[in-house]
Every structure is written in C-alpha cells, then in structure tokens.
C-alpha cells in the first residue's frame, strides 16, 4: 500500500483551544501523526467582525489518496460541529485543509498567509516556501 505524507492545516475561532485539541486527537486516532507545528493566534481574513483564530498544522502519513483524505477531513469537521454557511470566511469551530501533499503545496492560501508557511516550515524545513 502507498503511504502518503500530508500537512493538514487546522484553524478555529469558536471554543478554539478545545476544538483544536479534539481535532488533533481525532486525526492522531486515524492517521500516523508524525509532528505538530506550534499553534498561533491570527487575525480573521475576509470577514473581520469575528474572534481571532488559532491556527497550526499537523504532518501525517496516510494510505488514503488525497480525495479520500479530503472527504474524511470534511466528515471530521462536521463531527466536530462545523456547519457550512454562505460566508466562507465566517466563524467556525474547526477548519481542516490539506496544505501539502507528498511534498507539493496543494492549497493556494499557503502563498497568501504567512502563518501557513511558518507552520509548514516547522514540519517540513526542506520544503522551499
């Protein structure tokens, strides 16, 4: 079976510390957790009238392909209380995104947000960002 390495971005601004902890536990329970970045407080993007976020990332290994991992992360978001709204920048208990897949950046927001690059650099210092 093929083993894939992924960096998963985690973010929350609703009961953030608790929801980040729960998301980390859920991911570690399903995938091989290699390393966790530090987590930082960040300003909201796009929609400013909300609480600040806590953001960080996890490096994992999985036998799932990228599409199946993405689907699993969406289910985890729902299980952790995320409700999707029209406001894609609105408050959320948890946001889980694949940032890097097998050494390749797969989320364009990485290039727009310094905190994402810092998290990835902590986890994969050899990746040239």
C-alpha–C-alpha distance, residues 78 and 107, integer Å: 21
- How many residues in the chain? 129
Look up residue 44 and give its two tokens: 């909201």
Percent of the chain with pLDDT strictly greater than 90: 80
Q: For residue 84, what pLDDT is reported?
A: 78
**pTM of full prediction above 0.95:** no
User: In this structure, are residues 103 and 7 in contact, taking their beta carbons and an 8 Å threshold?
Assistant: no
Q: Which CATH superfamily is domain 4-123 in?
A: 7,8-Dihydro-6-hydroxymethylpterin-pyrophosphokinase HPPK (3.30.70.560)
Using one digit for the tens of pLDDT, what is the confidence trace for 42-76?
A: 988 777 888 999 999 999 999 999 999 999 999 99
In whole angstroms, how far apart are CA 17 and each of 4, 24, 66, 128?
28, 11, 27, 30
pLDDT of residue 69: 98
Q: How far is CA 86 from CA 42, 48, 58, 81, 91, in A?
A: 22, 15, 27, 16, 11
Distance CA 69, CA 71 (A): 5
Q: Domains of the chain: which residue ranges?
A: 4-123
Residue 89 pLDDT exceeds 90:
no
């Amino acid at each position: 079976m093929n083993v894939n390495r992924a960096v998963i971005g985690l973010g929350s601004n609703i009961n953030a510390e608790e929801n980040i902890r729960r998301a980390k536990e859920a991911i570690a329970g399903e995938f091989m957790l290699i390393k966790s970045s530090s987590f930082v407080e960040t300003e909201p993007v796009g929609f400013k009238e909300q609480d600040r976020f806590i953001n960080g990332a996890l490096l994992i290994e999985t036998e799932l392909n990228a599409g199946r991992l993405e689907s699993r992360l969406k289910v985890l978001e729902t299980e952790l209380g995320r409700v999707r709204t029209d406001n894609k920048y609105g408050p959320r208990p948890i946001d889980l995104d694949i940032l890097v897949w097998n050494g390749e950046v797969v989320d364009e927001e990485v290039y727009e947000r310094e905190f994402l690059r810092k998290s990835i650099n902590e986890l994969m210092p050899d990746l040239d960002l």
